[in-house]
Structure 1
Amino acid sequence: MSSTRQMVLSALFQPHGHSKSSWRHPDSRPSHPTDVRYYVEAAQLLERGMFDLFFIADTPAVRTENLDAWAQSPLYMNALEPVTLLSAVAMATEHIGLGATVSSSFFEPFNIARQFASLDHISRGRAAWNVVTSANDYAARNFGLDRLPPHAERYAKARESLQVVKAYWDTWEDDAFVYDKPGARLFDKTKQHPVSHDGEFFRVHGGINVARSPQGHPVIIQAGASEPGKEFAAETAEIVFGTGTDLGEAKEFYDDLKGRMPRFGRGPDQLKVLSGFSAVIGESEAHAAEKRAEMEALVPIEARLIALVNDLETDLFDLPLDEPVPLERIPVSANHHRVYFEEIAGLIRSGITLREVAMRYTRSSAAMTGTAVQVADFMTDWVRSGGSDGFMLTFQHAPRDIHDFVEQVVPILQDRGLVRRDWPGRTMRENLGLARPANRYATA
C-alpha cells in the first residue's frame, strides 16, 4: 500500500462506550442510550475529526436469560432502532457516512431497500447497510424460531436478500421522475423496472416506491470472517470489518479477502477493509494505562464471562475461575460468530485459567494504550504495512475517548497525509473513492 494513501476512519459508536461496564463510569448518564441529541453531538464531533463513517451496530432482540450477568454488561438491552436514529443524525450532519446493521435473516428485502433508500435521500447520499445474518438465538425467538438456522443457510439467504434489495434500488432509473407539469406526467413509465424474483428464500413482484437514491445503491458493509462470510464479502461488500489482534493476522485476512475479489470481476480498490481498533490515549504511557485500568476495574468478572458464554455458545458459569477450562467444554462448531468462537477456543487450548481467558478476550480487535504519537505510529504502520485500509474504532469511554482521539491523534495523522483535511465529495461513495453503481437497466 502506498505511504501517501489516506486511511479510512470509522467509529462503532456505543452510547456509554465499548467497555463492558462503561455505563458505570461517573460521567455516564442513564439517558444517553435513548437521547438522540447525545448521538448527534457524537456524530458531529467525529465529523470534525474527518471520520468517514458513524456506525450503529444492532440486534433485533433482547437478552432474556442470565439477566444478572447481562445487567452488568447490558449489550443492546436499551437501544434505539438504528435507521430511525440515523435519520435524525443525518439532519444535523453534512459529510460523515451513516451506517446501520439490519439483519437479512429477519427483515424483508423490500423493507430494507426502502429504509436505506430513504436514509440515503434524507442524508443526501451518506447511507450504508451492514448486511448481517444475526448471531444470537434471542433474535431467532423474536421471529418465531427456537434458534438461528444453520450458518451456511443464513449466508445463502443473505446473498439472495442482497440481490433482491439491489434490484429494488434499481426500480427507477435516475431520471425517471420528470415532473412534466404541462404534460401532466410526473414520471416516465418507460424508466420503471419492476422486480420479479422467485428464489429459494424470497418470492416477490413489485418495486420500491421511492426515487433512485443519491448513491444509486447505499454502501454495502459486511463483517463475516468465516469462509462463507469472506466469499460473500469478496463478491459484494464495499466495506468489511477486518479481524486480527496483531498486524500479521490482519495482513493475512486482508490479503486473503482481497485475493478473492478477481474471481468476482472486482478490483481491490472496490473494497475497504477496516481493522477493529481500540485506543486509550494519555499524556504518557503511564497516564494512558491508568485510564484503561480505571475502565477495566469497572467490569465485574461475571460481565466478562457472559461475553464468553455468548460467543462460545455454551455455559461456563459452573466452572472454577482459577483453573483451566476442560477442552471437552469447547463445542464442536460455531453457529454464531465463528471468528470470535475460534479466538476463545484458542485461548482455552493454551491452558490458561478461565479468569485469564475472560480477561484476554478481545473479539479479534487490536488495542493500544499510549500517547497520541504512539497511537498514530501504530495506525500508520498498520496501514502502510498492508494490514488494512483504515480502522473501525471503538472507544472504551464515550465521549471522553472520542475527544482525545479527535483532538490529539487526528492532527498527527493529518500532518502525515493519512487523514484528509477537507471532504472531496458530497456522498459517502465519493469520499471513499467508491464508484456509483449504474442502474442495470439504463446501462442495458
Structure 2
Amino acid sequence: MTQRLMHLGAFLYPTGHHVAAWRHPDGQPDAGVNIAHYRHLAQVAERGLFDLLFLADGVGIRGDDLPALSRTAIRYVGQFEPITLLSALSAVTTHIGLVATVSTTYSDPYTIARKFASLDHLSGGRAGWNLVTSADDFEARNFGLDHQMAHAARYARAEEAVDVVARLWDSWPDDAFPRDKASGQFFRPEAFAPIHHKGPHFNVRGPLNVPRSPQGRPVIFQAGASEPGKALAARTADAVFTATQTVAEGQDYYSDLKQRLPAHSRDPHAIKVMPGVFPVIGRSRTEAEDKFAQLQDLVHPDVALSHLSNLLGTDVSAFDPHGPLPDLPVSAGHVSRQKLLIDRARRDNLSVLDLALSMAGARGHWQITGTAQDIADALQERFETGAADGFNIMGPVLPGGLEDFVDLVIPTA
C-alpha cells in the first residue's frame, strides 16, 4: 500500500496572518508590493518541500472604517494581484504549486480559463485555481452593483462558471498544434472545436486561445464550507481549504465532504482536505506564548472589532465589547465563517472583544502555540484521525513564521 503523505500549503498574506503583523519588529511593512519579499517566501517554502503556495485575494478594499483600515494590512490594501505575482514567482521556483484565488462572481469563465492556462504554461504545469464567490458589498461596488449577489445566486453562477472553465481547458487536444514549418500548418483545423456554451449566466463560444496546458486542467481548490460550497467542492474540486477549530469539527467536515464524492462518480481520495493552521512556534512553550502575546499587544481594539464585523457580516461596534455576542442574523457573505465564530464564542464563553482579539491572528482558523514538537504532534493527530489530508500553514509574521516552520517543524531526514 502506498504511504499516505501529508500535503502542505504556504498560505501567504503579505506581512503575515496576524492583523498586527506589519507592526512587528520583524515584519516587512511594504510586503504587499515587495517582490523580493515574495521571492524569498516562495524559495523558503520550496526548500521546505511544500506542495504549494496559496494566495487569497479580494477585488476591493474591504470596509469603509478608515481609522481601522489605516491600521491594518490585511484587508487587501496595497498588494499585488495574485496571478501576476505567481507568474513572476514561477520564474524563481521549479516544483512548488502556484494557487491563486479568483472569484467567479466578478470574473468571466473565459478570462479565468485563459489566465490559469497561461500560468500553467509559464510554470511548467504548476498552476492552481482557488475558486471563490466573493462575500461583501465593497467588492460588488467595484463592478457596477450596490450590493453583493445573494449567496444562492453566487453559487449558481459558480457552478456554471467552473464547468465552462473546464470545457475551455479541454477545448484543444494535446496534439492540436503541430507548428509544422515545412507544411505551413500551425494547428490542425479538425482540432478546432468551439464549446458553444449557452447557460443562465454565460454564453461562451470558445475555444480557448491558449493551447492545452501541461496539466490539461490546473488544480482546482474550493474554499467555501457552506452547504452550497461543499456541494460544489464535492463535484469539482481537487482540494479544499477550510477552517475547523477542533479535532471533532475537522473529522465531521472531512467525513461529510468525502462521503459526497461517490454521488459524482468520484473516489473519496480524489479530493484533499487542507484546513488552515496558524502556528506560533518557540524553542519552548513559554517562548511561543511570549511571541503571541507580543503580537496581541500590537492589536488596536478598533481594528480587531472592525475585522470581526467584516467576518460576522454585522457591525459589532454598537455591542457591549465586554458582554456576550448577541444572536445575529445569518450573514449574506461569510456564512460558514460566521457560524464558526459564533460557535466558538458560545463554546468558550467569549465576550465580543475577547472573540475579536482571539481571531486577530488566525481569523477563525485553528491556532497552535508551542514548540516545534507540539506543532508536529498536533498536525499528525489530525492527519491520522481523519480530520485532514494536509494543512495550509498561516505564518503569524512573515517571513519569520514560515522560516520557523520549515527549519524547526519539518523533518530534516
Which residue is equivalent to 2:208?
208
SS of structure 2 residue aligned to 1:187 = coil
Instruction: Give the letter aligned to residue 173 of structure 2.
Output: E
1:379 aligns with 2:376: no
1:353 aligns with 2:351: yes
SS of structure 2 residue aligned to 1:281 = strand
1:243 aligns with 2:240: no
Taking the TM superposition and a 5 Å limit, the aligned residue runs for 1:225-240 are: 225-240=225-240
Contact 1:242 1:388 survives alignment (8 Å): no
- Aligned mates of 2:343, 2:274 — CA distance in 1: 23
- Which sits farther off after the overlay, 117-126 or 309-318? 309-318
- Aligned mates of 2:380, 2:255 — CA distance in 1: 18
Instruction: Give the letter aligned to residue 335 of structure 1.
Output: A
Taking the TM superposition and a 5 Å limit, the aligned residue runs for 1:258-269 are: 258-269=258-269
The Cα shift of 1:188 comes to 0.8
- Aligned mates of 2:55, 2:27 — CA distance in 1: 19
TM-score (norm 2): 0.96
Which residue is equivalent to 2:34?
35
Instruction: Give the letter aligned to residue 387 of structure 2.
Output: G
Which residue is equivalent to 2:21?
22
Render the CA deviation track for 1:78-120: whole Å, top value 9, x for unaligned: 1111001100000000000000001100111111111000000
Taking the TM superposition and a 5 Å limit, the aligned residue runs for 1:77-88 are: 77-88=77-88
- Aligned mates of 1:73, 1:359 — CA distance in 2: 14
Render the CA deviation track for 1:238-284: whole Å, top value 9, x for unaligned: 01013310111001000000000000000012111001111111111
The Cα shift of 1:38 comes to 1.3
Contact 2:314 2:331 survives alignment (8 Å): no
The Cα shift of 1:347 comes to 4.4
The Cα shift of 1:49 comes to 0.1
Taking the TM superposition and a 5 Å limit, the aligned residue runs for 1:164-179 are: 164-179=164-179
- Aligned mates of 1:59, 1:36 — CA distance in 2: 19
Label 1:405 to 1:352 Cα distance change in 2 as closer, same or farther (>3 A): closer
Which residue is equivalent to 1:181?
181
Render the CA deviation track for 1:13-33: whole Å, top value 9, x for unaligned: 012100001000122233321
- Aligned mates of 1:308, 1:29 — CA distance in 2: 24
Label 1:370 to 1:352 Cα distance change in 2 as closer, same or farther (>3 A): closer
The Cα shift of 1:285 comes to 0.6
Label 1:381 to 1:4 Cα distance change in 2 as closer, same or farther (>3 A): farther
Label 1:80 to 1:154 Cα distance change in 2 as closer, same or farther (>3 A): same
Which residue is equivalent to 1:116?
116
Instruction: Give the letter aligned to residue 55 of structure 2.
Output: I
Which residue is equivalent to 2:198?
198
SS of structure 2 residue aligned to 1:339 = helix
Render the CA deviation track for 1:365-399: whole Å, top value 9, x for unaligned: 21111111111111111101111000011010101
Taking the TM superposition and a 5 Å limit, the aligned residue runs for 1:215-230 are: 215-230=215-230
- Aligned mates of 2:262, 2:282 — CA distance in 1: 43
Instruction: Give the letter aligned to residue 296 of structure 2.
Output: E
Label 1:32 to 1:357 Cα distance change in 2 as closer, same or farther (>3 A): closer
Label 1:180 to 1:4 Cα distance change in 2 as closer, same or farther (>3 A): closer
- Aligned mates of 1:372, 1:44 — CA distance in 2: 21
1:127 aligns with 2:124: no
Q: Pick the aligned partner of 2:341 from 317, 341, 344.
A: 344
1:159 aligns with 2:156: no
- Which sits farther off after the overlay, 61-70 or 381-390? 61-70
Label 1:326 to 1:171 Cα distance change in 2 as closer, same or farther (>3 A): closer
Residue ranges of structure 1 left out of the alignment (5+ in a row): 416-444
Render the CA deviation track for 1:146-195: whole Å, top value 9, x for unaligned: 11111111001001011111111112100110122221111111112112
- Which sits farther off after the overlay, 285-294 or 258-267? 285-294
- Aligned mates of 2:57, 2:228 — CA distance in 1: 21
- Aligned mates of 2:404, 2:126 — CA distance in 1: 25
- Aligned mates of 1:339, 1:63 — CA distance in 2: 18
Contact 2:16 2:396 survives alignment (8 Å): yes
Which residue is equivalent to 1:103?
103
Contact 1:324 1:354 survives alignment (8 Å): yes
Which residue is equivalent to 1:46?
45
- Aligned mates of 2:181, 2:351 — CA distance in 1: 74
Instruction: Give the letter aligned to residue 92 of structure 2.
Output: A
- Aligned mates of 1:304, 1:45 — CA distance in 2: 30
Instruction: Give the letter aligned to residue 163 of structure 1.
Output: D
Instruction: Give the letter aligned to residue 85 of structure 2.
Output: L
Instruction: Give the letter aligned to residue 355 of structure 2.
Output: V
SS of structure 2 residue aligned to 1:178 = coil
Which residue is equivalent to 1:68?
67
The Cα shift of 1:73 comes to 2.1
Residue ranges of structure 2 left out of the alignment (5+ in a row): none
Contact 1:10 1:52 survives alignment (8 Å): yes
Which residue is equivalent to 2:306?
306
Which residue is equivalent to 2:391?
391
Aligned length: 409
Contact 2:100 2:128 survives alignment (8 Å): yes
Give RMSD over aligned pairs. Answer: 1.5
- Aligned mates of 1:321, 1:243 — CA distance in 2: 25
Instruction: Give the letter aligned to residue 249 of structure 1.
Output: E
SS of structure 1 residue aligned to 2:57 = coil
Instruction: Give the letter aligned to residue 344 of structure 1.
Output: L
1:5 aligns with 2:7: no
- Which sits farther off after the overlay, 336-345 or 383-392? 336-345
- Aligned mates of 1:298, 1:353 — CA distance in 2: 20
Contact 1:179 1:187 survives alignment (8 Å): yes
